[in-house]
Structure 1
Amino acid sequence: MKIIIGLVFLHMIKTFELEEIVDTTLILRSTITLDCKYPGNETVIQIHWAKVNGSLEEVICTIHRSYGNYISPKYMSRLSYVVGNSSLDLSITLRETSKVDIGIYVCYVTVFPTGTMKKVIAVQGDDFGHILPSSHQVFKKNSKITLNFQNTLSGDVNKVIVQKFANGKMSLVTYCKNSKPGRKSLSYGFDFIKRSFVNCSDFQNVTLKIHQAAIMDEGIYQCHFWSDDKNQTISVNVHIQTTGLTSMSTFALICGVSSLVVLVIFIIAALCLVRTRKNRKIQAKQVNVSFNSTCPQLQIDTADKEPTYANFTPNSSFSKSWT
Structure 2
Amino acid sequence: MAYLTLLLAILHVHKALCEETFWDTAVQLSETMTLECVYSFTDNLTQVEWSKINGTEKVTIAIYNPSHPVLIQRNYRHKVHFLNSTEGLHNMSLSFHNASEEDTGTYSCLFHTFPHGSWEKKIKVVQSDSFEIAAPSNGNLYAEPGQNVTLSCQLQRKWPVQQVMWEKVQPHQVDILAYCNLSQKTRYTSRYQRKTWSNCSKESMQSVLIIPSAMAADSGLYRCRSEASSGENETIVIRLIITDGASNNHFILPVAGGSVSLLFVILIIVITIMFYNRRRRRQVRTPLKEPRDKQSKVATNCRSPTSPIQSIDDEKEDIYVNYPTFSQRPKPRV
Scaled by the length of structure 1, the TM-score of the pair is 0.68
| Counterpart Cα distance in 2 of 1:130 and 1:222 | 11
Question: Which residue identity is paired with 2:39?
Answer: Y
| Counterpart Cα distance in 2 of 1:244 and 1:60 | 41
TM-superposition CA deviations, 1:94-123 (whole Å, max 9, x none): 110110000000000111100001000000
Report how many residues are paired.
241
Identify the residue that residue 260 of structure 1 maps to in structure 2.
Answer: none
Identify the residue that residue 199 of structure 2 maps to in structure 1.
Answer: 199
Identify the residue that residue 65 of structure 1 maps to in structure 2.
Answer: 66
| Counterpart Cα distance in 2 of 1:161 and 1:54 | 25
TM-superposition CA deviations, 1:200-233 (whole Å, max 9, x none): 2145201110112123222111111112332111
> Computing the radius of gyration over CA atoms, which structure comes out larger, 1 or 2?
2
8 Å contact 1:13–1:54 — kept in the other structure? no
| Counterpart Cα distance in 2 of 1:226 and 1:205 | 13
Q: How does 1:43-54 map to 2 (within 5 A)?
A: 43-54=44-55
Identify the residue that residue 99 of structure 1 maps to in structure 2.
Answer: 101
Q: Secondary structure at the residue paired with 2:253?
A: helix
After TM superposition, the runs of 4+ consecutive aligned structure 1 residues lying more than 4 A away are 12-20, 252-256
8 Å contact 1:13–1:19 — kept in the other structure? no
Q: How does 1:21-40 map to 2 (within 5 A)?
A: 21-40=22-41
Unpaired runs of at least 5, structure 2: 1-12, 259-334
Task: Choose between structure 1 and 2: higher helix proportion.
Answer: 2
Identify the residue that residue 299 of structure 2 maps to in structure 1.
Answer: none
Q: How does 1:158-177 map to 2 (within 5 A)?
A: 158-177=162-181
- Alignment root-mean-square deviation, CA: 2.5
249 and 94 in structure 1: CA distance in 2 versus 1, 3 angstrom threshold: closer
| Counterpart Cα distance in 2 of 1:239 and 1:72 | 42
Question: Which residue identity is paired with 2:134?
Answer: H
Q: How does 1:154-303 map to 2 (within 5 A)?
A: 154-180=158-184, 184-191=185-192, 195-201=195-201, 202-229=203-230, 230-243=232-245, 246=248, 248-251=250-253
| Counterpart Cα distance in 2 of 1:173 and 1:95 | 27
| Higher RCO (CA-CA < 8 Å; seq separation 6+) | 1
1:139 has 2:143 as partner = yes
Scaled by the length of structure 2, the TM-score of the pair is 0.66
8 Å contact 2:63–2:70 — kept in the other structure? yes
Question: Which residue identity is paired with 1:221?
Answer: Y
| Counterpart Cα distance in 2 of 1:90 and 1:250 | 39
| Counterpart Cα distance in 2 of 1:14 and 1:91 | 27
| Counterpart Cα distance in 1 of 2:42 and 2:102 | 35
40 and 31 in structure 1: CA distance in 2 versus 1, 3 angstrom threshold: same
Q: CA deviation at 1:16?
A: 7.0
Question: Which residue identity is paired with 1:138?
Answer: Y
Question: Which residue identity is paired with 1:32?
Answer: M
TM-superposition CA deviations, 1:3-40 (whole Å, max 9, x none): xxxxxxxxx77757856521000110111101001021
Q: CA deviation at 1:251?
A: 3.2
Unpaired runs of at least 5, structure 1: 1-11, 257-323
| Counterpart Cα distance in 2 of 1:112 and 1:15 | 26
Q: How high is the sequence identity, in percent, across the aligned residues?
A: 24
Q: CA deviation at 1:255?
A: 7.5
Identify the residue that residue 284 of structure 1 maps to in structure 2.
Answer: none
| Counterpart Cα distance in 1 of 2:116 and 2:82 | 24
